[in-house]
Amino acid sequence: MSCRKIDAKKAAEFLKENDDFYILTHSNPDGDTVGSGYALNAVLKAMGKRSAVLCGDPIPSKLKVLESDESICFEPKTIVAVDIADERLLGSLKERFSGKIDLCIDHHGSNNEYAKMLYLEADSASCCECVFEVVKLLGARVTPKIASALYLGMATDTGCFKYSSTTPRTHRMAAELMEQGADFDGINRSFFDTKSKARLELERAVLDSVEYLYGGRCAAVTITRDMIESTGCEQTDLDSVSSLPREIEGVEVGVTIKEQQSGAYRVSLRTHEPYDASEIGKAFGGGGHKRAAGCEFKCSLSDARAALFSKIGEVLEETK
């Protein structure tokens, strides 16, 4: 199947001309996919269309403020995917929707062009920026809830405007969304300024478990099921912990290995320039961005570590 690359204007036209939308978000949902999905859904409904947001996984409680709560009582005619680089990230929705995505709106350079049409901005810090471009072209009124949804995605995908992916446009869009009534303080407080006691406990355990490799240029932490269960952490707590190893002075590649309920090991990779996290992720069937990527291992922890650390060593050696 060939994928047609389109721009924001063409994406807006397509949305205007069609109806009965299912908007798909990625499994293990984050602020950007949920914010993108919620905002687009709300705008399409305000235009008098039928629309619903779907996710293959439960929405974490922190993101629930944005979840649309109605039950879905129509069959879709148009399938849109937001912030999904690969159909595998549809998770449990994959079987039903694989090969049927009409439009994908995304910002992952690694997008593998599975949709019939793709509006991709690989330089955008968040998918919500792409969605906001489309929303503007649709001439939709940006309600405070829509503004909050879009702000949520921009803020969470940039570590609150901290990551190098942030652009002047990100800041200008944030300013606009604040003026449209985005609850930026509530969002920032919840995502960047609040640690549950469970998360605090996990952080202590993580700080105790840091290993240094390659002369301190790589730091790795391993989060076992036992640590997760004994602290009572949620998925969102685990996600935010993934940035810790890279924050240590001198560390170029930060690694967080999380034991899954399935017994597999999910790996989060965070790098500083010029080290390419997605190159490491891709070597093990994963992917992502240059500074943040991931992959999964279905072998023993020691085999996973050996393969992973050897690849990281290569990347640290090659790129200098």
Interacting residue ranges for a second copy, rule: CB under 8 A: 159-164, 166-169, 171-172, 174-176, 178-179, 184-185, 188-189, 192-197, 200, 203-204, 207-208, 210, 243, 246-249, 272-273
Tokens 């700080």, located at residue: 207
309 Cα distance to chain centroid: 24
CB nearer to a second copy: give 97 or 163: 163
Classify 184 as helix, strand or coil: helix
Find the shortest distance in angstroms from Cβ 125 to a second copy: 12
CB nearer to a second copy: give 184 or 275: 184
Tokens 């879905």, located at residue: 72
Find the shortest distance in angstroms from Cβ 47 to a second copy: 27
Find the shortest distance in angstroms from Cβ 273 to a second copy: 8
CB nearer to a second copy: give 164 or 310: 164
Do 195 and 214 contact (CB within 8 A), yes or no? no
Find the shortest distance in angstroms from Cβ 193 to a second copy: 5
CB nearer to a second copy: give 9 or 64: 64
Find the shortest distance in angstroms from Cβ 158 to a second copy: 9
Cis peptide bond N-terminal to 245, omega within 30: no
Using a 10 angstrom Cβ sphere, with 0-12 exposed, 13-18 middle and 19 or more buried, the burial of residue 208 is exposed
Tokens 């949902």, located at residue: 29
Find the shortest distance in angstroms from Cβ 163 to a second copy: 7
Whole-number Å distance between alpha carbons of 85 and 105: 9
> What separation, in Å, do the N-terminal and C-terminal C-alpha atoms of the chain show?
39
CB nearer to a second copy: give 134 or 174: 174
Nearest to 193, CA basis, from 160, 231, 229, 225: 160
Nearest to 49, CA basis, from 89, 82, 25, 14: 14
CB nearer to a second copy: give 64 or 96: 64
Token pair listed for 164: 């190098």
